[in-house]
Amino acid sequence: MDLPGLAHVGDEGNASVIRKCKEALCIVTYDSTETDRQKVSNLLQEVVDQVKELGGSPARMLFVLNRIDEFRKDQNWPDSEREFFKKTVHDIKQKLTKELEEYQEDISALQVIKMSALPALLSIQMKSYNQQQSTQASEKIDDFFKFLIPKEIIEDLPRKVERWEHHERHRVAEKVWEASYAEEFHKYLKQTIDENFPQLVIPQIVDRFKAKAGNAIAEWAVQTTYAFINSSEEDYQKESDNIARIRQDISQFISQKAQELRDPFEKIENALKGFMEESGQSFSEDNNSSDTTSDPRNELEQIVESIIEELRQGDYQERANSLISLYRWRRGVEQAVVKEILTPTVESLDTGKICLYSKVLQEADPDKLNLLEGVIRDLIDLEYPTKNGKKIEARTEQEKKDLRKLNDKLNQLTSALKGLMNEAVKQILDREMRGVVDALKTLLDYYLSLLEEGMGNIAPNLAISFSRSELEIIDSIPEPKFKFEAGFAIIEGTWLEDVEVTELKRTLFFFKRKVKKIKQELRSSDNAQLPKIEDINKDWLWQKNQAEIEIYSQVADWFICQINKFIKKVESSQKEIVDRYQERLDKAYDQAQLSLQKDLSIWNPLHQEAKQLKENIKKAGKVLR
């Protein structure tokens, strides 16, 4: 699968394909020929982004270091290839572990293999009985991958590829296939499928079966047989009273477990209310402070971490790790907004040279990027890099015009930045929220398991079981927006201008003559204190921090809303199950009144078989999870 090509096409068709791929095994390729450190870093980030894009566990992903044949051009290629492979595998796993903490165990066991896909493909085509295709493949091997052919074979080959006999082509193809690590790739591909397919793919198929038929069959069989067993006059009344007790006990049990599930997120919500009130004051009191210990965002992360630790000690145990996604998105936002957008922008203004070459900016909407670049060039032309932080007194009409233009351009700059940031943050949150959704699904899935176990103890003969896919009601995720402001105040002022005037002055003989004199006349001016570049940057960072608090609030509210909707659906589903049993019991009682006597020797064995059927269907998914 060509992940970057698929992921960066923004239509719904491709987005749908990506969502469906969540249940599939994947091959993630890495270009081994890239040597530039910044590009390698971007490439690693791209790999991580695509893993997040697809969602789910990295365990289902086979990592391939493609174009590894590049190292064969070196004289000491075995050593350089081995060193590169070792370092790259370490870097990939380290990067994934940092970004996907909840999958540490899966990441440590990731399979990473070497591969040269193009020569491997050409080696297959060389064996083709189609002479034209075979010749074309042979020519490409001879032109671009001759270094993969052993010298002793090259010495035996005719100079012209057209003269290579079939057995010679077959011999070359075998050696190229071997040097391309194609056989090793097939070996690990088969191994990956054998090891991961049952655990990662079949459970979804089983759950869909259970949703469509399995649960309904088990419920009908268990409830119907048990209803007939209790269809006599005396047993019917006892069982009706028992159903009333079951309803009450189940309702209390669901309420208890629901509150346990809600508690961690209500703690986050309560903490957020306080932070939302205090954050504006705490950020604005000292925008220049480098102390991050009192940063509300850091305190929020600490709260979430403590909640995760609490869940680890309780029923949810290792499932609590999935909650890391609740605050991990902040790292992506920090990387995109600060390092990838703000820093290059500030550097461009500071140096007077365009430096908009970061990964996020290069992948941004070209129109928005061109707008940002154009505004920065205008600010450079207006000499803002040298004038920033200075007091300006615009006296002439041209100076006033330039000052107003400078103010307009600074406002346009923030507008352009806002557009780019919202686009980048939306992409990041869309990607990161998949992890949050996975975290929620994981918790709700385990919550259902606890409910099924508890309800099974309360009502063992009602076959209460829930379909994960039918209860899934995840709504669209929140889309926060960044708001940025800049510019400066222009105040009208006055100044005294020395003006040379001509006056008539009397002499001793009463004659008048013209005399030049300097007078001061009052003039209007536009005055402004141009903001320093560093102050603008600090103000942008402050506004970004405020936006992050808002995102936390929206995500927490969304999480609690999803949990409440889910709990309501669970309550409705279990009520329907009990109602169906009541109907079956009533029907069995009515039929028993007609036939008076039922042979329990028939219904008791059938009931036991029905319960065994229910257990088998229930275990079908658990064995593979």
- Nearest CA among 476, 512, 101, 510 for reference residue 321: 101
* Confidence (pLDDT) at 136: 94
Q: Place 487 in a pLDDT band, splitting at 50, 70 and 90.
A: very low
* Confidence (pLDDT) at 614: 65
What is the rounded CA–CA span in Å between residue 66 and residue 70? 10
**What is the torsional sign of CA 179, 183, 188, 193?**
positive
Side chain identity at 601, as an amino acid letter? S
- Nearest CA among 142, 204, 198 for reference residue 168: 142
* Cβ–Cβ < 8 Å for 53, 21: no
* Confidence (pLDDT) at 278: 63
What is the rounded CA–CA span in Å between residue 443 and residue 258? 12
**What is the torsional sign of CA 373, 374, 379, 382?**
positive
Most confident stretch, 140-154, 288-302, 438-452, 591-605: 140-154
* Cβ–Cβ < 8 Å for 204, 593: no
The whole-number average pLDDT for the span 322-330 is 68
* Cβ–Cβ < 8 Å for 373, 356: yes
Tens of pLDDT, residue by residue over 568-604, are 888 888 888 888 888 888 888 777 765 545 455 555 6
Cα 284 to the center of its chain, rounded Å: 31
User: What is the DSSP code (8-state) at residue 146?
Assistant: G
Tens of pLDDT, residue by residue over 407-430, are 888 888 888 888 888 887 777 777
* Cβ–Cβ < 8 Å for 123, 177: yes
Instruction: Give the strands of the sheet with 26-31, arranged side by side.
Output: 26-31, 61-66, 112-114
* Cβ–Cβ < 8 Å for 549, 532: no
Residue 156 pLDDT greater than 60, yes or no: yes
Helix (H, G, I), strand (E, B) or coil at 353: coil
Tens of pLDDT, residue by residue over 281-305, are 544 444 444 444 456 667 767 777 7
Higher pLDDT, 444 or 614: 444
* Confidence (pLDDT) at 481: 64
Main-chain dihedrals φ then ψ at residue 396, nearest 5 degrees: -85, 165
What is the rounded CA–CA span in Å between residue 324 and residue 150? 51
pTM for this entry: 0.62
The whole-number average pLDDT for the span 145-169 is 90
Q: Place 491 in a pLDDT band, splitting at 50, 70 and 90.
A: low
Cα 510 to the center of its chain, rounded Å: 95
Helix (H, G, I), strand (E, B) or coil at 6: helix
Side chain identity at 342, as an amino acid letter? L
The per-residue DSSP string of 64-80 comes to EEE-GGGGGGSTTHHHH
* Confidence (pLDDT) at 284: 46
Which domains does the chain show, CATH number per domain? Answer: 3-116+182-200 (3.40.50), 118-179 (no CATH), 215-306+466-476+535-622 (no CATH), 491-524 (no CATH)
What is the rounded CA–CA span in Å between residue 477 and residue 487? 33
What is the rounded CA–CA span in Å between residue 235 and residue 517? 123
Helix (H, G, I), strand (E, B) or coil at 585: helix
Main-chain dihedrals φ then ψ at residue 485, nearest 5 degrees: -135, 150
* Cβ–Cβ < 8 Å for 63, 30: yes
**What is the torsional sign of CA 71, 74, 78, 79?**
negative
